[in-house]
Structure 1
Amino acid sequence: MNIALIAHDEKKNDLVQFVTAYQEIFKKHTLFATGTTGLRINEATGLSITRYQSGPLGGDQQIGARIAQNQMDAIFFFRDPLTAQPHEPDVTALVRLCDVYSIPLATNMGTAELLIRGLELGLIDWRNIVKENGEENGR
């Protein structure tokens, strides 16, 4: 599975800790991340991560493009709901694309726990069928 890892500044530590705790599951998948988030996760875990630009510089849009091309299977996006983001339209667009293409999206620790356990149990394997059939919207 192709998994994106994104975190706003105030949530980066949480995502690094989460990936560290579940690195045995994450290492079985292909990981992508926005700039600093990917660097911090790599330094903490040693996991191989393809890094895009930071979110404000277009990283969210780069991941969004992969979603639109049916090349992303799950997103862990730890958002900070209490801090205004200068690139909020990009964030909104990314969330919208996840809804349009039926991509599982965890925006907080509680949902992330459920999604990572679902990955571990194979409950997201339907994404492989979607990709094999060349479906564009995951429906």
Structure 2
Amino acid sequence: LKSGPLGGDQQLGSLIAEGEIDVLVFLWDPMEPQPHDVDVKALLRIAVLYNVPTACNRSTADFMISSPLFTAEYEPAAIDFSGHLNRKLHP
């Protein structure tokens, strides 16, 4: 994948939407401004939308990878977007 500012964040988001990413560990420096902050926010929104476990700091990443669910069979809850896709749009 490309670097985040060069489209990598969007590539990750696409992989999440296609069901290719099971877990996201996205570590960033909160003391530094992100030149691609809008893309980072979009990536995190997609991860939440598709119910992908996401760690943005080392402690959360440690919890996730040490969880028994990390290596066991786990079927995440299915997400139903039909209500959104079939909604009536107003011009």
Bucket of the pairwise TM-score, normalised by the shorter protein: 0.7 to 0.9
Structure with the bigger percentage of strand: 1
Give the TM-score taking structure 1 as reference length: 0.52
Structure label with greater radius of gyration: 2
Matched residue, 2:42: 93
Deviation (angstroms), 1:73 = 0.5
**Is 1:67 matched with 2:30?**
no
User: Structure 2 regions of 5+ residues with no counterpart?
Assistant: 82-91
Alignment of 1:1-139 (within 5 A): 52-118=1-67, 119-120=70-71, 122=72, 125-127=74-76
Give the TM-score taking structure 2 as reference length: 0.77
Q: Which amino acid is 2:15 matched to? A: R
Structure with the bigger percentage of helix: 1
Question: Which aligned segments of 4 or more residues in structure 1 are displaced greater than 3 angstroms?
Answer: none
Residue-pair matches, total: 79
State, as a whole percentage, how many aligned pairs show the same letter: 39
How far apart, CA to CA, are the structure 2 residues paired with 1:62 and 1:76?
15
Q: For 2:21, what is the secondary structure of its paired residue?
A: coil
